[in-house]
Structure 1
Amino acid sequence: MTKTDSLSPDTDNKSVRRRFPNVIFLFLCAIIWGFGFIAQRLGNQHVGPFTFNGVRFLLGALTVSPLLFIVRRAEKKDLSASEISATEARNKTRAMRRAWIIGSLICGLALFAGASFQQIGLINTEAGKAGFITALYIILVPLIGLFLGKRVSWNVWIGLALAVGGLYLLMVEGDFSVAPSDLIILIGAFLWALHILAVDHHTEKVDGIRLAFGQFLVSGLLSFGVALVRETISWPAIQEALLPLLFSGVVVAGVAFTFQVLGQRGTNPTLAALIMSLEAVFAVIGGILVLNERMSSREWLGSALMLTALIIAQLKFVPHKNKAAD
């Protein structure tokens, strides 16, 4: 008998069953985020990008806040049931609070940065096109991991090459010019990758609901701070953008970003990025159905290359031993 090595997809059934709820959370997140591009485009017609983000993230924090009471009650119950002294319980509570504050500040800052660039770019970039450029974070996540000492597999490099070709078709015009709004969206994709890595790190230390609330609060306050300096905040304009703001604040922020935090807990960040990148597909669908947007054949080809790149970059192969007769 001889042993030969072959490559086969990683199909650990127990692992798949264990992370199935996480996959559902992340898939729902992708659907909501995709249609969220539509609300963001509509909101830009009435209010400035920082005003829009300030309102929507504070609405997100408000949406999540009732769940904090449930989390707090569960934490108190766990501490009461544990066989530790009162001093140890206080120290544990203090450590949890410190981890929550740090996680909220870091994730909130990353969320503020990514959302700001995306919202500004969406002023002049179509929802579907922005969705595919933003989805580049799926390749940026493992590439950033490379600088953190993590190995990048061969298929990621192939995916990156295809993504560069797709981005060229999506962003570069016939006269070799690039729209500034597309570049802004591209910078946002890099910042979203940092946000995914930040959430992945801090969900191991902080309850998901607490982290979602904290990052919304930080991002909302930062956005409003910039809006006060750079924009004119008008209550009538906010009223005109009420429906997009409610969808973006309650559904996209309050629900979808919370799904992200819950779904990423215990999930490989690269796999999470793959699932969430499907937002690009739903952004195109939403742009066609709601905004009557149309992409050129060149942009469709670029989108197809991007989607292929996203899939190839996330294929996971492991060595598998087969026995063969001599």
Structure 2
Amino acid sequence: ALGREKPSARLVSAIALALAGLYMMSFSGSAYKAMLGDLIVLAGSFFWALQIIAVDRAASGDLYSLLFLESFFTALGASLVAPATRSLTATEVVAVLPPLVYLATVCTIGANALQLYGQRYVRSVVAALIYLLEPVFAAAFSCAALGEAVRADQAAGAALILASMTVSSLRAERTLS
């Protein structure tokens, strides 16, 4: 995406809609005060953006090597952070192993493999817009599973993000000649 081609007016409009929607879902309502978690999420978003760009540049090459590197560094990071949280007994390790294997294979390796495959066919800017659906689904699932309420401004923000997906997927009409 960076340096490859000039984005169309349609795509710029979709990005503007998505950012407005994300703002409405995140920062509207009461007074906002930045917290450590917000800074961590901001840093994570920055690194996701870098990852999307890297995948876009490497999508035509060897995806298995990229998948291995992504998985290796994810495991390395988790291995470095996990001991700092608390020590587990052998019984607790055995109990947590099946869900951990599931999370590692399906949610990390599987999701990354699907992204690598899919991003061969989708521009990185569109892939980034697709990732913006995460807060929309998080809000929907928190309503369904936890009974949390969504304010009207948050619902409007979710609608703007969905509209951005629609705008980004529209194709110019062709006339018959």
Same fold flag (TM > 0.5) = yes
- Provide the C-alpha distance between the structure 2 equivalents of 1:266 and 1:310, rounded to a whole number of angstroms: 16
Structure 2 residue identity aligned to 1:191: F
- Provide the C-alpha distance between the structure 2 equivalents of 1:151 and 1:304, rounded to a whole number of angstroms: 27
How far 1:242 moved relative to its partner?
5.5
* 2:20 maps to 1:165: yes
1:11-90 matched pairs, under 5 angstroms? none
The answer on whether the counterparts of 1:171 and 1:179 sit within 8 Å (CA) in structure 2 is no
Structure 2 residue identity aligned to 1:185: V
* 2:53 maps to 1:197: yes
Structure 2 residue identity aligned to 1:299: Q
- Provide the C-alpha distance between the structure 2 equivalents of 1:220 and 1:234, rounded to a whole number of angstroms: 18
How far 1:166 moved relative to its partner?
1.9
1:100-179 matched pairs, under 5 angstroms? 142=1, 145=2, 148-179=3-34
- Provide the C-alpha distance between the structure 2 equivalents of 1:296 and 1:218, rounded to a whole number of angstroms: 38
For residue 164 of structure 2, the aligned residue among 287, 309, 325 is 309
The answer on whether the counterparts of 1:200 and 1:269 sit within 8 Å (CA) in structure 2 is yes
Structure 2 residue identity aligned to 1:235: L
How far 1:288 moved relative to its partner?
3.2
Structure 2 residue identity aligned to 1:201: R
For residue 124 of structure 2, the aligned residue among 269, 272, 296 is 269
- Provide the C-alpha distance between the structure 2 equivalents of 1:157 and 1:266, rounded to a whole number of angstroms: 20
* 2:114 maps to 1:256: no
- Provide the C-alpha distance between the structure 2 equivalents of 1:315 and 1:186, rounded to a whole number of angstroms: 29
1:84 aligns with none
Q: Percent identity?
A: 31
Structure 1 residue identity aligned to 2:141: G
1:211 aligns with 66
Q: Which has the higher strand share?
A: 1
The alignment partner of 1:204 has SS state of: coil
* 2:91 maps to 1:235: no
How far 1:190 moved relative to its partner?
3.0
- Provide the C-alpha distance between the structure 2 equivalents of 1:258 and 1:315, rounded to a whole number of angstroms: 27
How far 1:212 moved relative to its partner?
1.4
1:99 aligns with none
Aligned length: 174
How far 1:194 moved relative to its partner?
1.5
RMSD value over aligned CA atoms?
3.2
Structure 2 residue identity aligned to 1:234: S
The alignment partner of 2:85 has SS state of: coil
Structure 2 residue identity aligned to 1:301: A
Q: For structure 2, which runs of at least 5 residues remain unmatched after alignment?
A: none
Cα 1:183–1:153 change in 2 (3 A) is farther
How far 1:274 moved relative to its partner?
4.7
For residue 185 of structure 1, the aligned residue among 22, 35, 41 is 41
How far 1:171 moved relative to its partner?
2.1
How far 1:322 moved relative to its partner?
4.0
- Provide the C-alpha distance between the structure 2 equivalents of 1:293 and 1:175, rounded to a whole number of angstroms: 17
- Provide the C-alpha distance between the structure 2 equivalents of 1:194 and 1:164, rounded to a whole number of angstroms: 18
Q: For structure 1, which runs of at least 5 residues remain unmatched after alignment?
A: 1-141
Cα 1:161–1:267 change in 2 (3 A) is closer
**Per-residue CA distance 1:86-132 (angstroms, 9 max, x = gap):** xxxxxxxxxxxxxxxxxxxxxxxxxxxxxxxxxxxxxxxxxxxxxxx
TM-score, with length taken from structure 2: 0.73
